[in-house]
Amino acid sequence: MTQLDLFADINTPDEPPRPKAAAKVPATFANPKPAVTPPAPAIKPSATPAPAATVRALRPRLPANPHERAQSLGEAVARTWHTQHGGTAIEVPIGIVAALALIRPRDLKGPDLAHQILAQDDTQLIQMYREIWARHWIQRPDLIDRARILHEWVNDDDHDKHRLYVTRAVTKAALHAGIFDLTGHDDPYFRAATDVLSPVMALTRSSGAQAGLGEFHTPWSVAETMGNILMAEFSLAAKGDMAPGEHVHDPACGSGGLLRAAAQSMRERGIDPASMHWSGVDIDEIAAACTAVNAIVWGLGPNVTVARADILTHPNAVDEAAAEARAVIEHRDRLFGRAAVIGAVRKAQHLLEQVTKAA
């Protein structure tokens, strides 16, 4: 396919993430530390102005209300999926939006990335999605493996004409709804301004399916209030801000909205969320997959564990998920170790051939 040279480099450390066992005493949204009533609006100011103060100046493309834009995006994607008879495989439209959320233009002043994507033919479009997931699996195999349900369909050997048509239609809907205005920023603070996957998941899934799963999407306003309360409780209990290595856990995480709110509250206090440990559990496979993708988009850092389980019957779900993540990373390392050996052998053979020819 024609190479799109517009994807931003994935900014990750050279050393791959190696998830550790979860901290033994996490602070949870469901079970926070002993309740301490925070003083009314008293929020400790950060050493530097909160990013929100300059958000419009720094990123004029960020919508005035990102949550409303995310809702509109979800409505556009869901409407397209259902009117074009996409069927019950809602992991397809959610996976398309998730993949688009993982990329961003190299140069905001350069060629329009949305136009470049839609200029591809159907085969190239599917190949693009394969490459997006493959590149991110190399960097974060632990999280991309947890999100497997969102990208397994891309690797099907044969995509029928209708699947190709609907994939293009959903891609076009997401792009025209402005997904890159929400997720196409270098700074994770702006990428985490809202959750683009939650509305898509809620609106593509039938109300009956949501009821069967006991699924309830926390409104963004409630999530952000809870995130601020959690940070205030930490500050009061510790007589200061959170220290690196603290553990934030949500036992019913959905697509990760409460984790996002906590991370944004940290950033507004001058704390780097990537220095913390994060974990979330959800019984719904698609919701857990969305949290895994969002953890990358929102820049939560290397110490993120997402489990798909019923926390009531699997209290050790986070530890088990962390062990699974370590196994996936080791598998990735073995594959790339073999690739490095093969590459070295081929290079040596090439040099030998060159010497032989010269002789």
pLDDT tens-place string over residues 193-215: 999 999 999 999 865 444 444 45
Q: What's the CA gap between 91 and 167, in Å, rounded?
A: 12
User: Cα–chain-centroid distance for residue 265?
Assistant: 18
pLDDT of residue 146: 98
pLDDT of residue 107: 77
Rounded (10°) angle between helices 91-101 and 285-297: 10
Q: What's the CA gap between 343 and 356, in Å, rounded?
A: 20
Rounded (10°) angle between helices 317-358 and 122-139: 110
Q: Is 5 helix (H, G, I), strand (E, B) or coil?
A: coil
pLDDT of residue 342: 72
Q: What is the CA radius of gyration of the chain?
A: 22
Diameter of the chain by CA atoms?
83
pLDDT of residue 351: 73
Helices (H), 89-238: 91-101, 113-118, 122-139, 141-146, 161-176, 179-183, 188-191, 197-204, 207-213, 220-238
Q: What's the CA gap between 39 and 311, in Å, rounded?
A: 32
pLDDT of residue 297: 98
DSSP H or E segment with residue 215: none
pLDDT of residue 15: 43
- What the block records as the tokens of 3 is 């190479």
Q: Is 228 helix (H, G, I), strand (E, B) or coil?
A: helix
Counting other chains too, the contacts that 220-223 makes at CB distance below 8 Å and 24 or more residues apart are 220/67, 220/194, 220/195, 220/257, 220/261, 223/257, 223/258, 223/260, 223/261
pLDDT of residue 47: 42
Residue corresponding to tokens 């993430």: 17
pLDDT of residue 220: 61
pLDDT of residue 344: 75
In this prediction, the residues of the chain whose per-residue pLDDT falls under 70 are 1-61, 206-241, 345, 349, 352-353, 355-359
- What the block records as the tokens of 5 is 């040279």
CA distances from 253 to 198, 248, 288 (A): 11, 11, 8
Kindly report whether the global pTM for this prediction surpasses the value 0.85.
no
Q: Is 62 helix (H, G, I), strand (E, B) or coil?
A: coil
DSSP H or E segment with residue 56: helix 55-58
Q: What's the CA gap between 166 and 150, in Å, rounded?
A: 16
Residue corresponding to tokens 């798909």: 308
Q: Is 155 helix (H, G, I), strand (E, B) or coil?
A: helix
Strands 27-28 and 277-282: unpaired
pLDDT tens-place string over residues 239-273: 566 778 899 999 999 999 999 999 999 998 899 99
